[in-house]
Amino acid sequence: MRAHVDQELCIGCGLCTSVAPDVFAMNADGKAEAVADTTDANGESVEQAIEGCPVRAISQISKTQTGEQP
Ligand code: SF4
């Protein structure tokens, strides 16, 4: 799985980067983006980021949808 941040929706609050710092990072536009895959180790914190995002900008895409190998 790979998290995805909708750049139009993200308000750059930084919540996801503090909840799941190994997956989310702020980019040059001041928006969050996913910089790593969701794994068993960080899956719970990614879920917390998804639930906690005030504008619901985070979604998750399974690798089969992106065409990448799992
Ligand atoms: S929690 Fe949501 S709005 Fe806040 S930085 Fe992350 S994606 Fe953007």
- Residue 46 tokens read as 């990614």
User: Span 8-35, mean pLDDT?
Assistant: 98
Any atom of ligand 1 within 6 Å of the Cβ of 32 = yes
CA of 55 to the centre of ligand 1 (A): 7
Q: Which domains does the chain have, with CATH numbers?
A: 2-66 (3.30.70.20)
User: Span 16-25, mean pLDDT?
Assistant: 98
User: Span 56-62, mean pLDDT?
Assistant: 93
Q: What is the DSSP string of 27-58?
A: -TTS-EEE-S---TTTHHHHHHHHHH-TT--E
CA of 39 to the centre of ligand 1 (A): 20
Note the pLDDT of residue 61.
84
What is the value of pTM for the model shown?
A: 0.89
Contact 20, 38 (CB under 8 A): no
Note the pLDDT of residue 9.
98
User: Span 49-62, mean pLDDT?
Assistant: 96
Any atom of ligand 1 within 6 Å of the Cβ of 14 = yes
pLDDT at 44 over 70: yes
Residue 14, SS3? coil
Pick the residue whose CA is nearest to atom 2 on ligand 1: 53
